């Protein structure tokens, strides 16, 4: 984390999770209010910055996207460096992505210290009809691992801003 002039904050937040769970779309929904129906990875985009106001102070959330690196199981340590927040994302319609969460948490713990604000995100909650992971399963994993928990839909915007805002607020409370 870097602190800018006076009351400005810059928080690096990483988004991790299996391929195609909706990480890039959560980010584009949050930063630009856009959704992309094509599953093509947005190669090249490292991070996007979104300004949020907290208690009258300007907070810049610099949210990093893997840009598809996770396909090769090679998310680099540079990706995690300096992160103060993390969204660990799975797809509620694909159980295997939920089963991967522990592996992603292990990777996060390898690269970042335990003070990183963590949120477990069950994305694609609009796909209720083909749900494979119940809300309770998500909640209990989050409790076990000491994470915040939320279900989101980057498609219909449900809870996307809220997910980021909870993490940003948590980081803010730690540093202010």
How far is Cα 53 from Cα 109, in angstroms, rounded to an integer?
Answer: 29
The 3-state secondary structure of 111-168, one letter per residue: HCCCCCEEEEEEECCCCHHHCCCCHHHHHHHHHHHCCEEEECCCCCCCCHHHHHHHHH
- The correct pick among 12, 23, 111, 118 for binding ligand GDP (CB under 6 A) is 23
Cβ–Cβ < 8 Å for 8, 58: yes
Site for ligand GDP contains 73 (CB under 6 A): no
- 43/51 with CB nearer ligand GDP: 43
How far is Cα 164 from Cα 13, in angstroms, rounded to an integer?
Answer: 9
Q: Using the rule CB under 6 A, give the single segment among 34-42, 74-82, 98-106, 130-138 that binds ligand GDP.
A: 34-42
Structure tokens at 43: 């190669």
Site for ligand GDP contains 20 (CB under 6 A): yes
Measured CA distances, 156 to 122, 139, 159 (Å) = 14, 22, 9
Instruction: Supply the minimum distance, in Å, between the C-beta of residue 30 and ligand GDP.
Output: 12
Site for ligand GDP contains 138 (CB under 6 A): no
Site for ligand GDP contains 123 (CB under 6 A): yes
How far is Cα 174 from Cα 28, in angstroms, rounded to an integer?
Answer: 26
Site residues (CB under 5 A) for Mg ion?
A: 23-24, 41
Site for ligand GDP contains 97 (CB under 6 A): no
Instruction: Supply the minimum distance, in Å, between the C-beta of residue 174 and ligand GDP.
Output: 27
- The correct pick among 5, 6, 37, 55 for binding ligand GDP (CB under 6 A) is 37
Q: By rule CB under 6 A, what count of residues binds ligand GDP?
A: 17
Rule CB under 6 A: which residues touch ligand GDP? 19-25, 36-37, 39, 123-124, 126-127, 153-155
């Amino acid at each position: 984390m870097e602190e800018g002039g006076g009351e400005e904050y810059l928080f690096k937040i990483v988004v991790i999770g299996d391929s195609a769970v909706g990480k890039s779309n959560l980010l584009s929904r949050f930063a630009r209010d856009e959704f992309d129906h094509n599953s093509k990875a947005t190669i090249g985009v490292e991070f996007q910055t979104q300004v949020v106001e907290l208690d009258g102070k300007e907070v810049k959330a610099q949210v990093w996207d893997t840009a598809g690196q996770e396909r090769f199981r090679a998310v680099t340590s540079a990706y995690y460096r300096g992160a103060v927040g993390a969204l660990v994302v799975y797809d509620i319609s694909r159980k295997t992505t939920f089963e991967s969460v522990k592996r992603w948490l292990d990777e996060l713990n390898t690269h970042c210290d335990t003070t990183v604000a963590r949120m477990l995100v069950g994305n694609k909650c609009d796909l209720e009809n083909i749900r494979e992971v119940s809300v309770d399963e998500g909640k209990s994993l989050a409790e076990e691992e000491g994470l915040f928990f939320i279900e989101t839909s980057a498609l219909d915007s449900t809870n996307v801003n809220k997910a980021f805002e909870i993490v940003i607020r948590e980081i803010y409370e730690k540093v202010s």
